[in-house]
């Protein structure tokens, strides 16, 4: 089972120096992937912890790819209805190719009303709009020539499709993951809470005559309780989880590296 870590692309920790140093430390310490989040328009009354500052997700992943060599680069999650369909597909393909296929594309349908309003996007269509993006992404990565709005065009660069993970809760996220040949990216704090959903995912995939997608869990481990953290990792692996992304709390680059070193010892990397 792979171990990834979160990296803050928000607030004071999202400076170039802290993000670059953090990504390089995670790579040096043998973590498999780093994951960042996605917000575009934070209202003033909901800015605690970030000050409303979020660096753009795809731009930041591309930049982090240039600051590292081998660690994988995850979006946890990219909100699909926020973005135009073709430029997003082009950005995804470009990042994946130029980083030697290190992109892990976590996606979601969104939830924050003020962001939808700021973008002029109908929140009630977020599921339909997300499905359209996922369908188009699959078409782009399967064909050199694709069509949009009645116009055929060449989709290049066209690397191998990046792994896609649908964020959200069961059963809706599971159904979407199965429909678009994707994995699942739940936020979970306990293996016990995941077991029933893993079984449901397997059953739904079998009913659709499709393989069950890979599961990446995003959740915190209590680094102050190493034995409990080790047991949780063992339990996730026993459930068939592909990857656990551990939430890391920190203020400075030194804090981040210290937490990574504690986690590395727990994970026996």
Tokens 């400075």 sit on residue = 252
pTM of model > 0.85: yes
How far apart (Å, rounded) are the C-alpha atoms in residues 85 and 96?
Answer: 17
Looking at the DSSP bridge assignments, the partners of residue 79 are: 108
Burial code (b: 16+ CB inside 10 Å, e: under 16) for 103-127 equals bbbbbbbbebeebbeebebebeebb
What gap in Å lies between CA 95 and CA 51, rounded to an integer? Answer: 28
pLDDT number for residue 269: 80
**pLDDT at residue 59 in the model:** 98
State how far the Cα of 51 lies from the Cα of 12, in Å rounded to an integer: 8
Q: How many CA atoms lie within 13 A of 267 on its CB side?
A: 25
CATH of the domain at 51: 3.20.20.30
Q: For position 39, what pLDDT does the model report?
A: 97
Confidence at residue 205, expressed as pLDDT on a 0 to 100 scale: 98
Question: Which range marks the domain in which residue 138 is found?
Answer: 2-267
Task: Kindly provide the b/e burial profile for residues 232-254, where b requires at least 16 CB atoms within 10 angstroms of the residue's own CB.
Answer: bbeebeebebbbbbbebebeebe
| CA torsion through residues 146, 151, 153, 157, sign | negative
Alpha-carbon 54 to chain mean position? 15
- Which structure tokens are listed for 244? 């656990």
Do residues 219 and 189 lie in contact, with contact meaning Cβ atoms separated by under 8 Å? yes
Interacting residues of 143 by C-beta distance below 8 A, sequence separation 6+:
155
As given in the structure block, the two tokens for residue 221 are 């481990």
Question: Residues 74, 33: contact at Cβ < 8 Å?
Answer: yes
Q: How many structural domains is the chain composed of? A: 1
Residues in contact with 145: Cβ distance below 8 Å, sequence separation at least 6, in sequence order: 152, 153, 154, 155
Residue 104 CA to residue 244 CA, distance in Å, equals 13
**Per-residue model confidence (pLDDT) at position 222:** 84
Q: Which of 255, 232, 179, 199 has the alpha carbon at shortest distance from 25?
A: 255
pLDDT at 224: 86
66 burial class (0-12, 13-18, 19+ CB within 10 angstroms)?
exposed
Q: What are the average pLDDT values for consecutive 10-residue runs of the chain, which has 269 residues? A: 98 98 98 98 94 98 98 98 97 98 98 96 97 98 96 98 97 98 95 95 98 94 90 96 96 97 92
208: left (phi over 0), alpha (psi -120 to 50) or beta: alpha
Token pair of 228, please? 């409990």
């Amino acid at each position: 089972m792979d171990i990834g870590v979160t990296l803050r692309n928000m607030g004071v920790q999202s400076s170039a120096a802290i993000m670059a140093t953090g990504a390089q430390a995670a790579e040096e310490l043998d973590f498999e992937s780093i994951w960042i989040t996605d917000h575009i328009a934070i209202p003033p009354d909901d800015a605690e912890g970030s000050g409303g500052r979020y660096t753009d997700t795809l731009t930041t992943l591309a930049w982090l790819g240039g600051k590292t060599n081998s660690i994988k680069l995850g979006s946890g999650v990219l909100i699909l209805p926020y973005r135009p369909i073709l430029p997003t597909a082009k950005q995804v393909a470009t990042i994946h190719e130029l980083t030697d296929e290190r992109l892990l594309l976590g996606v979601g349908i969104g939830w924050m009303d003020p962001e939808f309003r700021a973008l002029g996007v109908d929140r009630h269509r977020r599921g339909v709009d997300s499905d359209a993006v996922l369908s188009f992404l699959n078409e782009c990565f399967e064909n050199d020539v694709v069509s949009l709005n009645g116009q055929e065009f060449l989709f290049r660069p066209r690397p191998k499709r990046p792994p896609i993970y649908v964020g959200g809760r069961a059963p809706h996220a599971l159904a979407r993951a199965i429909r678009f040949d994707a994995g699942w990216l739940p936020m979970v704090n306990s293996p016990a809470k995941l077991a029933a959903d893993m079984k449901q995912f397997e059953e739904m995939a079998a009913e659709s005559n499709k393989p069950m997608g890979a599961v990446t869990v995003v959740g915190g481990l209590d680094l102050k309780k190493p034995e409990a953290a080790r047991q949780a990792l063992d339990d996730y692996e026993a459930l068939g989880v592909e990857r656990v992304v551990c939430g890391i709390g920190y203020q400075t680059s030194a804090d981040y590296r210290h937490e990574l070193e504690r986690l590395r010892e727990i994970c026996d990397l």
